[in-house]
Chain A
Amino acid sequence: DQQVKQNSPSLSVQEGRISILNCDYTNSMFDYFLWYKKYPAEGPTFLISISSIKDKNEDGRFTVFLNKSAKHLSLHIVPSQPGDSAVYFCAASARAGGYNKLIFGAGTRLAVHP
């Protein structure tokens, strides 16, 4: 039973355009959502997060949107750059007990081409 789903295994975007990565979740107890970025041969690196009390969080070129009623979040990257080419993982947690037990999606491979 996948609680966090990333339905697009890959996405190709032209440099300078917007990249939109999507994520759906099923567990209404999730209250914290994150995006991680992963380059080959490296561990995932934290990118941006959002609490369930917000619907938007922005950090430079990266913005995460949360739609709780639809149990959907998205990551917008604008403008996209070739260095953004990586696998992006969506993750969620229900922060009980004071720690973040992260539940990850399967990832979306983003390719930004010139």
Chain B
Amino acid sequence: GAGVSQSPRYKVTKRGQDVALRCDPISGHVSLYWYRQALGQGPEFLTYFNYEAQQDKSGLPNDRFSAERPEGSISTLTIQRTEQRDSAMYRCASSRGLAGGQGDTQYFGPGTRLTVL
């Protein structure tokens, strides 16, 4: 079956522009996560959705970052007024969302490489 897909794969934008990054999770996956990965580092948690509910946004760096998942499937991460420090790989992951189960494997998408000039 299809895995997690993300679009665009690459995005180059100018400082001050808004960008929207899309994540299409595995069909039927309840949980959706966004991570950001800087070069030479591991993924860093940004936010978590259970169905359409954003239950944890503790990793969003500031109020220029927002995310939504209105119908409990596709999610969009939006960065307003982009800055050069926002340049990174943005990764989405989804999982079945087994309540109380540790074996709830997160499947990662290929990521969107964002470059802010």
Contacts and interface: CB of A to CB of B under 8 A. Distances in A.
Contact of A99 (B40, B44, B50): B50
Given A101-B45, A102-B43, A43 B31 contact: no
Describe A's contact surface by its main secondary structure.
Answer: loop
Interface stretch (A12-20, A44-52, A64-72): A44-52
A78 to B, nearest CB: 23
A42 interface: yes
Given A43-B111, A104-B41, 7 more contacts: A32-B102, A36-B108, A43-B91, A43-B93, A43-B107, A99-B48, A99-B55
16 contacts: A4-B42, A31-B102, A32-B102, A36-B108, A42-B110, A43-B4, A43-B110, A46-B106, A95-B102, A98-B99, A99-B104, A100-B106, A102-B35, A102-B43, A102-B45, A105-B42
Interface of A: 4, 9, 31-32, 36, 41-46, 49, 51, 89, 91, 95, 97-107
